[in-house]
Structure 1
Amino acid sequence: MNGRMRFVAVNGSERADGNTNELLAHAAEVLDARGVDLDVINLAEYRLTGCGPCGDCNARTEPCVLAGDDLPALVDRMALADGVILAAPVHGFGLCTTMQAFIERAGVGYLRFQRPLTNKVGGVIVVGRRYSHTEVYHQLVDNVLLNRMVMVGAGFPAILYGNHRGEAVRDEEGVEMMDRMLVRMAAMARVLAEHRELTGRDALEVDQDNERDDRWFARRYETAGQS
């Protein structure tokens, strides 16, 4: 496979121009050198509605009925990528509220029907001043695994320390760990794509036993390529 690949990075920060975005700009350069284009979704720039009080999440067989926001289009961009990176800052000793709202709505309202992120490579980047990085990191890793992605790491996790804008990209050890993860993600995505191209099937078995009826995703991605 000689063509370029495409990753999507979800920036969960409420600030589109903060530390997280600076790290993703650096990530784009690293991936570009390895034949991967990075599509950055800055959640702060989109309309997102938090989960409501309807309470029918465990019975619905169609996507979330909360309409009028940008979530379906963002899910589309993830579903058609070769890899997905979840990047978020630590706020109030936990995951920032924008990313929390996104993973709740995207997961329960859309991704659980057919798990369209299955067998895509996944990575996690967490940035914050000093505390609770690992708690946020593990929550996002759990989300990657829940969506049946191939979690790629490189030793230490991509956890970076910084408070004011510009500090996180100067965390040399953190940036090194992030770079290692990105390089391995690009390599793994290419291996999986080459196997699919040569054999016509995924290297990893696709589990079709999903939590929800998949009619909506079957229609939406019936003719769209996901490699």
Structure 2
Amino acid sequence: MKVVGINGSLRADGNTFILINTVFEELRKEGINTEMIQLFDKDIKPCRGCGACRNGSCALENDDFNRVFDKMAEADGIILGSPVYSADVSARMKALLERAGYVAAINPEILRHKAGAAVAAVRRGGGMTAVDTLNHFFLNKEIFVAGSTYWNMVYGKDSGDVLKDEEGMRNMKNLGQNMAYLLKKLHPED
């Protein structure tokens, strides 16, 4: 089994990276392979709504979307992580979700019945909106959402500050354990 984590932060190894890696640690303990994709250096243009994605990939080929989406399609599970920018997910994450959402709406079998989990790095406010945005993507694509004991957000401003939010970091570990459990139920033969 494999889980791909998509870090929507413009900081390569910042707080969102730490959160996804914390979930990854729990998955790896259960023998689940992981791969991080960081959007900070990816060019993801907004969706044109042209409908040419009926063939299973986006017609815009002059950016990184298709390579990222192919990784999502190949994975058994997807973690979407974003810092909160202007009370929601980052612009790159939003562009990815819009295009992936369109491709998967036209080709629903591509993402259907995968496991998903959302995490957000939050300074003060907007965390619920960001988590909702990520979870709505999963739910509208028939992806089973792993939850935890509380909302999947951790507080911190500067890189590394999330490590000071002990409750939030415990929640990330529990989320990883719950995602591993869900994946094993979905793929008992692996």
* TM-score, length-scaled by structure 1: 0.77
> Is the Cα–Cα contact under 8 Å of residues 128 and 160 in structure 1 kept in the other structure?
yes
Could you list the runs of 5+ residues in structure 1 that have no partner in the other structure?
Answer: 198-226
Structure 2 CA distance for aligned equivalents of residues 15 and 60 of structure 1: 30
Of residues 96, 106, 124, the one that matches 1:102 is: 96
Detail structure 1 runs of 4+ shifted over 4 Å in the superposition: none
Cα deviation per residue 1:141-197 (whole Å; 9 max; x = unaligned)?
111101101111123121110100010122110111111111011011112111xx4
> Is the Cα–Cα contact under 8 Å of residues 3 and 75 in structure 2 kept in the other structure?
yes
Shift of 1:114: 2.1
Shift of 1:36: 1.2
Structure 2 CA distance for aligned equivalents of residues 83 and 154 of structure 1: 16
* TM-score, length-scaled by structure 2: 0.91
Of residues 134, 142, 154, the one that matches 1:140 is: 134
1:5-16 equivalent positions in 2, closer than 5 A: 5-16=1-12
Of residues 38, 47, 58, the one that matches 2:43 is: 47
Counterpart position of 2:121: 127
Of residues 158, 162, 181, the one that matches 2:156 is: 162
Structure 1 CA distance for aligned equivalents of residues 32 and 163 of structure 2: 21
SS in 2 for 1:94: coil
Question: Taking structure 1 as reference, are residues 172 and 60 closer, same or farther at Cα in structure 2, changes over 3 Å only?
Answer: closer
Counterpart position of 1:183: 177
SS in 2 for 1:49: coil
> Is the Cα–Cα contact under 8 Å of residues 75 and 106 in structure 1 kept in the other structure?
yes
> Is the Cα–Cα contact under 8 Å of residues 88 and 129 in structure 2 kept in the other structure?
yes
Structure 2 CA distance for aligned equivalents of residues 190 and 103 of structure 1: 26
Cα deviation per residue 1:13-52 (whole Å; 9 max; x = unaligned)?
1121211112222222222111112111101122222234
Of residues 79, 82, 98, the one that matches 2:73 is: 79
Q: Does 1:36 align with 2:2?
A: no
Counterpart position of 1:112: 105
Superposed CA RMSD in Å reads 1.7
Structure 2 CA distance for aligned equivalents of residues 24 and 160 of structure 1: 11
Cα deviation per residue 1:79-133 (whole Å; 9 max; x = unaligned)?
111111111010112221110111112221x222222111111111011101010
Determine what percentage of the aligned residue pairs are the same residue: 32
Counterpart position of 1:17: 13
Q: Number of paired residues?
A: 188
SS in 2 for 1:118: coil
